[in-house]
Structure 1
Amino acid sequence: MRILIICTLAYIALVSSKKSYNGYELLNIELNNYQRILLIENLISINKVQPASVVILKIQPFVLLVHGEVAELIYELLTNLGTKYSIEENIDNLLKIHENYNSMAPLQSNGTLNLNRYHTYDNIVQWMFQMKRDHSNDVKIIKIGKSWQKRSIFTIKINKGGKIGRKAIWLDAGIHANEWIGPAVMLYFIKDLLTGNSQMINFMTDNFDWYITPVINPDGYNFAWKHDRLWRKTRSSHPNNKCVGVDANRNWNIFFGEKLDTKDECSNTYEGPFAFSEPEVKAVASFLKSKHDIIAYLAFHSYSQAWMIPFANSKSDKPRDYDRLINMAKDISAAVTSKNGEKYTFGRISEFAGEATGSSADYTYLKLNITYSFGVELRDRGFYGFLLPPDQIFPTAQENLVGLYTLSQRLASLRNTF
């Protein structure tokens, strides 16, 4: 009853004014790496003259939000670059449909949070502590740090049976505030690992401990809920910056500052004034560095449907363990695809998300020597994009749980190498 009251009050609080995208158009653009560099250079110049007139939502595939005031200029630019693009004009309608669809699902199911809908950060944290109360012998809640706005960042550790000395697998999501499917899937993973009794679940919990952080960027996620559904960055405010926020997956201390598109403080991919400027990123990195039991790191994102290996920084460089990692990603993506028939692919992060500096998986692989570092792009392949309907949460979690099982099997067979 208590959690139902909390959820209801939280939802009522959300019925406030939200950012309107009336007058914006969404463009899906096909371009090569050279065209992308030229386009980003021009977009930075346009935004300096008319701030927030162009918003890069995703690098690969390249997705733009363009205000009508500069639309013709952008169309001319794209034509001159020789690119192909499609236009979606009713962004506000899509956002309203998404919000209404989620609000139609009940907040509670069988006395607990309904995991077949998206939830606020406060509700996620309340649910995590409820899991701790319900499974006190198998769960530990760890506060690993605080966000810029002083929200606590929580990790849940699952240690079934209290066995000492097991190696662990780390999962995180919500580093980008608009990727809501990630945190939702994390809750399903927690529930299944704690309550499931199948051969698959038993194998995963008998062989490994699990650290799961549903939301790395709670400030951004909260802002996306209350004010701007498509908000991506943190909510930090650094001296002399005219725009708020940093892309937390450009802020890790690896290859930092090597790309043009990360320099513009008003860009969605702004890297920050210095590496680890974001307390959220620094907190996660410090925690990972302090734990010597973690042998695999998985960062969940959306969208594209892919299991990916380092590097994010370069399409030409390969990690030293390339053959081992790419074969593992191939097997995992095939297993994920087999569950529901939704095609997942595999490759290096840079091949799916574009070349990006300061990413978490590159950092854990190179700086922390966590060989089995992966990025995972969840559903879908672009039809709904960041506005994935809540009825997609369960199948997305279901198929990727099979991926975690396949990963667990491969890692268990290599345990003598750790």
Structure 2
Amino acid sequence: MSLRFLNIILFLVVIDSIYSVDQDYLNKYKHHTVYQVFTETDKDVEFLSVIEKKIGTNFDYWNEANNMNKWTHLMLKSEFKTLFEDIMKSLNLNFSVLIENVGNLIENQLILNSKTNMVSNDFDYGKYHTLDEISKWMNDTQAAYPKFVSVFNVSRSYEGRTINVLKISVPSSSKKPAIWFDGGIHAREWISPATVIYMAHMFLSNYSIDPDVTKILDSFDLYVLPVFNPDGYEYTWNKDRLWRKTRSKTKIPGCYGADPNRNWDAHFCEKGASRDPCSDTFCGMSPFSEIEIKGVADFILKNNDSIVSYLNFHSYSQLWMTPWGYTTNKPKDFEIQVNRFLTLKEKKVIRLHHQDNGSAAAVNALIKLYGTRYQHGNIASTIYVASGSSVDWTYDTAKILYSYAVELRDQGQYGFMLPPDQIIPSGLETFEAMKALSFYILKQLK
């Protein structure tokens, strides 16, 4: 078979795969625009809040201004663009278009994803995968590493899907501490499951080859949950690429799901969460009303004597954050972990007020491969106030000291539609961060 003929076949496969997708799915965000607004003062933020109330649920925050980054990213439907821009100009607010056409970006991501590794039947780590493909990968990984890997069901979703965890446990004569990391709690953040999967692959494939990996797996068990919110994730592949929440029914017809990272029993539904079922930050009817969250929380609490670190991966913004989300106050452990272990050279890489040791170790490792710069600090000060989050609950209730929320690539150029060619770089740099964090924790446990 000639190379030209093969390329024609591959091109036809790509075209067929794109046009087999529901056209409503592709057209939903045609002509939606993402703006960045410079919100330097509290008054600027207040102006945006007033505009949001006028426009309603058609005003979708992608990223909010904070102490470190004064740019707010928000998406609007095409019919509100003129109104929004006129208001911005009348208020003399600094704004610009970040993404002109969200629908085109979604379609381009799907096209690029369809082009990757179409010839091989092997799992392609440089590609975004469906829920079924991820489930198959978990089972195949267990079969490939029967002495190290087990897969177990930790919970079920509202629509009845199993929520499976992959456990990596090198045989040991004694019980080991464990590190938990998960992705996909917010459905549209596709890079988080992809990165979590790639890190698990790197740990397994480098055991007995890389001395650092070998030391880590000889010292820790790893719990890996690639897709925390399977109903929402499945929905992003078939119905709405930018769906964020679970898919449970609410008291308002047509409004589905709760924000699974506002549903934990940690200052439930206070600041940064909504009681409106139609809101993307709807906290749910009660703490742990979402079955997905309840099952995982029960498992973590039951095993909190061994789980020493919890990491909840999101996108986007490039942030490595510690508790708390519900208040800008910092827990006592944040102050305890300030800047003690960094070398002088590392201190020159990143200078931030109140450097947390674990976060700083991770962030300094992240920058080394591709120069990707992350900021770090506590959630409420670094990104925004958010109550009812997993990290606050694992720290406050499960007493897991090294609890982190991580926002992966990028800083807004692609947002939630990060191209697949960035999956492996994201996975590699985050893997380096995980190794650095693991060694830091190991040092503290001795």
- TM-score, normalised to structure 1's length? 0.90
Match of 1:4 in 2: none
Task: State the SS of the aligned residue for 1:386.
Answer: coil
**2:158 corresponding residue in structure 1:** 148
User: Structure 2 residue aligned with 1:69, among 68, 79, 94?
Assistant: 79
Is the contact between residue 328 and residue 410 of structure 1 (CA under 8 Å) also seen in structure 2? yes
Letter matched to residue 52 of structure 2? L
Question: Bigger shift: 118-127 or 153-162?
Answer: 153-162
For residue 100 of structure 1, the aligned residue among 101, 111, 114 is 111
For residue 228 of structure 1, what is the aligned residue in structure 2?
240
1:412 CA displacement: 1.1
In structure 2, relative to structure 1, the CA distance for the partners of 1:225 and 1:237 (3 Å cut) is same
Counterpart residue identity of residue 146, structure 1 = R
1:86-132 per-position Cα deviation (integer Å, ceiling 9, x unaligned): 123322211111110111102574x5211110000111011101101
Cα distance 1:82–1:247, how it changes in 2: closer, same or farther (>3 A)?
A: farther
Unpaired stretches in structure 1, ≥5 consecutive residues:
1-7
User: Matched residues in 2 for 1:249 and 1:399: separation?
Assistant: 25
Aligned to 1:362: 392
Whole-Å separation in 2 of the counterparts to 1:199 and 1:260: 43
Indicate the percent of aligned positions where both proteins have the same amino acid: 35
2:438 counterpart of 1:389: no
Q: Deviations over 1:370-406 (max 9, x none)?
A: 1110111111122111111111111111111111111
Relative to structure 1, is the Cα distance of residues 33 and 298 closer, same or farther in structure 2, using a 3 angstrom cutoff? farther
Aligned equivalent of 1:238: 250
Instruction: State the shift of 1:14 in Å.
Output: 6.3
Deviation at 1:38, TM superposition (A): 5.1
Aligned mates of 2:160, 2:359 — CA distance in 1: 36
What is residue 301 of structure 2 aligned with on the other side?
A: 289
Classify the secondary structure of the residue corresponding to 2:332.
Answer: coil
Q: Quick check: 1:28–1:64 contact (8 Å CA) kept in 2?
A: yes
Per the alignment, do residues 198 and 59 of structure 1 end up closer, same or farther by CA in structure 2, a change over 3 Å counting? same
Matching residue of 1:351: 381
Q: Relative to structure 1, is the Cα distance of residues 37 and 311 closer, same or farther in structure 2, using a 3 angstrom cutoff?
A: farther
Moved more, 86-95 or 333-342: 86-95
Residue 267 (1) aligns with residue 279 (2): yes
Q: How many angstroms apart in 1 are the aligned matches of 2:46 and 2:326? A: 15
Change (3 A) 1:233 1:62: farther
Aligned partners of 1:37 and 1:360: how far apart in 2?
Answer: 28
Does residue 1:112 correspond to 2:117, yes or no? no
User: How far apart, CA to CA, are the structure 2 residues paired with 1:261 and 1:72?
Assistant: 29
Q: What are the residue-to-residue correspondences of 1:6-405 with 2, within 5 Å?
A: 15-17=21-23, 18=25, 19-32=27-40, 34=42, 35-36=44-45, 39-40=48-49, 42-47=51-56, 52-60=57-65, 62-79=72-89, 82-87=92-97, 88-107=99-118, 109=120, 111-196=121-206, 197-240=209-252, 242-259=254-271, 262-291=274-303, 292-315=305-328, 317-323=329-335, 324=337, 326-405=356-435
Alpha carbons 2:158, 2:291 under 8 Å: kept? yes
| Counterpart contact for 1:254–1:363, Cα < 8 Å | yes
CA contact (8 A) 2:199 2:430 kept: no
Alignment-mate amino acid for residue 357 of structure 2: N
* Deviation per residue, 1:49-78 (Å, 9 max, x gap): xxx532223334532221232223333444
Shift of 1:26: 1.5
Cα displacement (A) at 1:242: 4.3
Provide the alpha-carbon RMSD of the alignment: 2.3
Distance in structure 1 (CA, Å) of the matches to 2:221 and 2:147: 13
Relative distance call for 1:150 and 1:334 in structure 2 (3 A) is: same
SS in structure 2 of the partner of residue 369 of structure 1 = coil
Deviation at 1:345, TM superposition (A): 2.0
Distance 1:14 1:37 in 2: 44
Counterpart code for 1:36: V
CA distance in 2, matches of 1:178, 1:375: 17
Shift of 1:229: 1.3
1:310 maps to amino acid: P
Contact 1:241 1:265 (8 Å CA) reproduced: no
| Number of equivalent positions | 402
Gap runs ≥5 in structure 2: 1-13, 66-70, 339-355
Instruction: Provide closer, same or farther for how the CA distance between residues 15 and 68 of structure 1 changes in structure 2, counting only shifts above 3 A.
Output: closer
When residues 108 and 285 of structure 1 are mapped into structure 2, their CA distance, relative to the original with a 3 A threshold, is farther
SS at match of 2:416: helix
Structure 2 Cα separation of the partners of residues 112 and 204 of structure 1 = 27
SS at 1:219 equivalent: helix
Per-residue deviation at 1:264?
2.6
Aligned mates of 2:87, 2:376 — CA distance in 1: 32
2-side partners of 1:13 and 1:415: how far apart?
54
Letter in 2 for 1:327: N
Asked if 2 retains the 8 angstrom alpha-carbon contact of 1:138 and 1:162, the reply is no
Question: d(CA) in 2 for partners of 1:347 and 1:71?
Answer: 34
CA distance in 2, matches of 1:37, 1:372: 35
AA partner of residue 22 (structure 1): K
Q: Partner of 2:426: helix, strand, or coil?
A: helix
What's the CA shift for 1:46? 3.0
CA distance in 2, matches of 1:33, 1:371: 34
The CA deviation at 1:33 is: 7.2
